[in-house]
Structure 1
Amino acid sequence: MTPRHVLISGAGIAGPTLAWWLVRYGFRCTVVERFAELRTGGQNIDIRGAAREVLRRMGLDDEVGARGTGEIGTRFVDCDGRAVGEFPQTPGETDGPTAEREVLRGQFAELLHERTRDDVDYRFGVQVDRIEQPADGAARVTLTDGTTLDCDVVVLAEGINSRTRGRLADAFGVHERRLGVSIGYFSVPRVPADAQDGTWWRWYNATGGRSITLRPDNVGRQRVTLSFRSAPVAADLRSMDAQKDVLRRRFAGAGWQSDRILAALPDVDDLYLEDLGQVRADRWSDGRVALLGDAAWCASPVSGMGTSLALVGAYVLAGELAAHVHHQDALARYEERMRPYVTRAQKLPPGAPGVMHPRTRLGVAALRTAFRVAAAGPLRRFETTLFQPPADQFVLPDYRHLRAVETATTEKG
C-alpha cells in the first residue's frame, strides 16, 4: 500500500509541525519553500495554552524551554527609562504579555526542521507554480523548477501575503483587514555597560502614534520593534534602504533609546517591515487544497496568537487527515474544529492596536497612568484585557489512538 502524499508549501512553523504529525500517522510529506534556505531570523514568539500542550505531545516542550530568550517580564518605561508599570512573567501558560515559553522564531523553526528533515522531503528555492485538480484523482502540482507531483492533499502554510493563495483567492473568499499600524523588526547589539539591557521586555510610547520596544534574546542582542500609526507603507518599500529611511524619519527625536537604535540602523541586515493586518477566508479548503496558519486566518501580532494558532491548526489538520479516508471529510472537520478558536483569536482588545499608539502627550500620559495603576493591582483586569490571548479556550482533540497503518492507503476519488 502507498502512503498518502501531502505537499506542504511553507517551511516556517505551521508547515513543519504539520509534517511532523503526518509522518507519524504514516503519510509521505513534501515541503517546498520559496527561500533558498531555512529562514532562521525573526523576533520573539510565544507559545501558550493549547499550543503548549501540542508541544508536550511532540516531546518538544523542554527543548523549547531550553532555547528560551530569558525574558522575565514586561516593563513599560518613560523617556528616561524609568518603569511606569511592570508585569512579571507568571507561572500560568496564558497570562500576561510575557509567556512562560518565549523563543526566537528562527530557533524554533530550526528545531522543527531538525526533527523532521530525515523523514520529510524538503525542497528549498522552489514554490508552487500551478495546481490542477482533476475530478477523478489526485491533485497535480507543478513547481517553479518544472517538477510535477501528484498529491492527495496540498496545504498552503504560507504567510499573510501568501502568493499561492493569492492566485487562488476566489476559491477561498479571502478578505484582508488592515489595522493602521506598521512595524519594523530587527536586532541591535546588546550594550553590556547598560544595566537596562537585561532580561525585561521594555516598551516605550512616544507621541505621534509611535512605540519602541527592546526585548532580550539568548544570542547577545536586543530585538527591536519600531511601530507607528500609518497607512500601509511596506508594500511600496521594496528595498531595505528605503525601509530604513522611513524608520529614520518616523522616529527622529522620539526619545528614550531612539538615538541609539537609529544610529545602529546602517549596520542592520535583518530588518523586516510589515503593515499589520488580518486575513479572513470564507473557506479554508477548495477540493484537495487547504489553507493553514496565517494564509488562512492571520490574527496579526497584536493578537499574541500567531504561533499558537499555527501549532494547534497543524495538529488538528494532521489528526483529521489521519482519521478520515476521504480528504473532503477531513478538511471539513478541520475547519469545523478550528473556526471558533480562530474567530476568538481575531477579536482584538478594544481599541487595539491604536490604544497602544496614542498620538498626543495627553494620550501617552493617560496610557502610562493606566499601566502604573494596573501594575499596582487594582486594575489588573486592564492587563488581562490587553495581554491575555484566548490561548486556553480550546480543548485539543485526542488523536493518539491513531496508527500509521490506518492511513497507509491511497485515497480514491
Structure 2
Amino acid sequence: MARAGFRPTVVERADGQRSSGSPVDVRGLALPVVEQMGVVDDLRATATHATGIRFVDSAGRLSRRISMPTSRSAAGTREIEVPRADLARILCAVARDDADFIYDDTITRLDQDRGGVDVCFERGPARRFDLVVGADGLHSTTRRLAFGPDRDFVRHLGIYVATTPLGEPPEQPHDVLLHNTPGRLVAMHPVRGEVGVAFIFRYRAVADFDHRDLAQHRRILAEAYAGEHGWQVPELLTRALQVDDLYFDAVSKVTLPSWSAGRVVLLGDAAASVSLFGDGSSLAIAGARTLATTLAEGDHLAAFRRYEAEHRRRTAARGRGAGLVAAMLIPKTRAGILARNAAARLLPTGRPNRTAGP
C-alpha cells in the first residue's frame, strides 16, 4: 500500500513482537509477493529445516520417512516454512520506513462517513483515516465493530490447538514427528536447532471460550489428554501446562457474506479462515497484495469489490479441503489412524537434506 501512495498505520494489541505460534508456510501465490518485497533471503535464513514426516507409535517406534510436498514459484523460489514470529518480524522490518506502528493498543470504535473513518483507541487519542483494513485474525476486533459479533460469522470446528517451544534440540532435526490416538495428536516440530510441541485434538465447543484465558486453556488441554501414557506424551503435557508462552486457540471457520462495509475491509483470517487447515499465512500475503493492487487503481469501493471477487475464489478452494486435512491429521478412531498410516506408505520417501534449507 505504501508503494501505491498510502501511508499505512499498523495497530497491534501486544506491546511488541510476539514470540509464540507454530511454524507457517509461505508458498503458492505468496511466493511471488515475498519475491517482490525482497525478503526471500531473510525468510530462508530463519526457515525451519523440516523436510519429512514420521509417525510414532506408543512405544516410540518410528515409521518410514515421508517427504513433505513442496512447490515453487515461476521464478524458481521454493516454498518456505518459517516460525510465525519470524515471519511477522521480517515483514515489519521491511515496512518500517513506510508505515507507522502503534503497539500496546487496540481500536474500540469506528465511525465512518463519506470522507473517512474516525477511529477510537483504547489508549491513544482518536484519529481519522481514509480506510480501515481489519487484518486482525480469527478473533478480529475490526470485524466485530464493523460487521457484528463473532457468533454471526465464526463456527467452531470441534478442534483445538496448543503449541509451545521446548527450547532443546530435536530428536530428528529434519523430521516432524506425529503421534496419534483417536481424536488426539501430539507433534514435535524441529525449528532451527530447537523443537516445538503441538497438541491438536478434537473436543467439544466451550461456550465461554476465551482465547486469552491461559488458565482455561490449561484446563481444556489437561482434560483432553488425561489418561494418555504413550510415547512422551505425559512429559510433554506436563511441560506444556507449566509454560506461560502457550499458544492456544479453537480451530474455526470464518464466513461472511461481504468482506467490506463502506470504508472498512477485512483481510486474511478476519475475512475468511479455516484456521490451522487453510494456508492462512500464504493466503493473507496473497490477499494483501491483491488488495493493495486494486486500491492503487482508484475508487476504494470498486477496489474492495475487485479484491473480494478475486481473493474469495482462493479462500473458498482451500476451505473445501479443510475437512479432509483434519481427517488425515486427527483421525477420530483407531481404524482411521491405521487407514491413514497405510495410505501414507504410498507416498514418496526422502532423505533429509543436510546441506540446504527448505
TM-score of the pair, normalised by structure 1: 0.77
Q: Could you say which residue in structure 2 is the equivalent of 1:313?
A: 287
Aligned residue among 326, 336, 356 for 2:309: 336
SS in 2 for 1:201: strand
Determine if the alignment matches structure 1 residue 370 to structure 2 residue 343: yes
Aligned pairs, number = 344
Determine if the alignment matches structure 1 residue 211 to structure 2 residue 190: no
Check the 8 A contact 1:172/1:281 in 2, yes or no.
no
Q: Could you say which residue in structure 1 is the equivalent of 2:237?
A: 262
Check the 8 A contact 2:105/2:124 in 1, yes or no.
no
SS in 2 for 1:133: strand
Distance 1:171 1:197, change over 3 A: closer
Q: CA RMSD in A?
A: 2.5
Check the 8 A contact 2:110/2:146 in 1, yes or no.
no
Check the 8 A contact 1:204/1:213 in 2, yes or no.
yes
Aligned residue among 279, 300, 305 for 1:327: 300
Check the 8 A contact 2:175/2:189 in 1, yes or no.
yes
Sequence identity (%): 33
SS in 2 for 1:38: coil
Q: Could you say which residue in structure 2 is the equivalent of 1:253?
A: 228
SS in 1 for 2:320: coil
Check the 8 A contact 1:277/1:300 in 2, yes or no.
yes
Q: What letter is aligned with 2:178? A: W
Q: Could you say which residue in structure 2 is the equivalent of 1:226?
A: 199
Q: Deviations over 1:291-336 (max 9, x none)?
A: 0111001122112x10111100110111111111x21111111112
Which residues in structure 2 correspond to 1:35-74 (within 5 Å)? 35-74=14-53
Aligned residue among 116, 130, 133 for 2:95: 116
* In structure 2, distance between residues paired with 1:237 and 1:113: 24
Distance 1:361 1:174, change over 3 A: closer
Check the 8 A contact 1:139/1:152 in 2, yes or no.
yes
User: 1:69 Cα deviation (Å)?
Assistant: 1.1
Distance 1:306 1:238, change over 3 A: closer
Q: Could you say which residue in structure 2 is the equivalent of 1:297?
A: 272
* In structure 1, distance between residues paired with 2:57 and 2:295: 51
SS in 1 for 2:345: helix
SS in 2 for 1:235: coil
Q: What letter is aligned with 1:52? A: L
* In structure 1, distance between residues paired with 2:286 and 2:211: 33
User: 1:121 Cα deviation (Å)?
Assistant: 1.1
Gaps of 5+ in 1: 1-21, 378-413
SS in 1 for 2:29: helix
SS in 1 for 2:166: strand
Q: Deviations over 1:338-365 (max 9, x none)?
A: 1111111111255442443234333322
Which is greater in Rg?
Answer: 1
Aligned residue among 123, 131, 136 for 2:110: 131
SS in 1 for 2:136: coil
* In structure 2, distance between residues paired with 1:289 and 1:90: 37
Q: Could you say which residue in structure 1 is the equivalent of 2:12?
A: 33
* In structure 1, distance between residues paired with 2:3 and 2:146: 30
Q: Could you say which residue in structure 1 is the equivalent of 2:247?
A: 272
Q: What letter is aligned with 1:72? A: T
Check the 8 A contact 1:92/1:100 in 2, yes or no.
yes
Q: Deviations over 1:192-237 (max 9, x none)?
A: 7xxx342211111113x1111110012x431111111111248157
SS in 2 for 1:222: strand
Check the 8 A contact 1:206/1:254 in 2, yes or no.
no
Q: Deviations over 1:219-272 (max 9, x none)?
A: x43111111111124815754244223323322324112023023235422112
TM-score of the pair, normalised by structure 2: 0.88
Gaps of 5+ in 2: 351-358
User: 1:376 Cα deviation (Å)?
Assistant: 6.9
Distance 1:26 1:138, change over 3 A: same
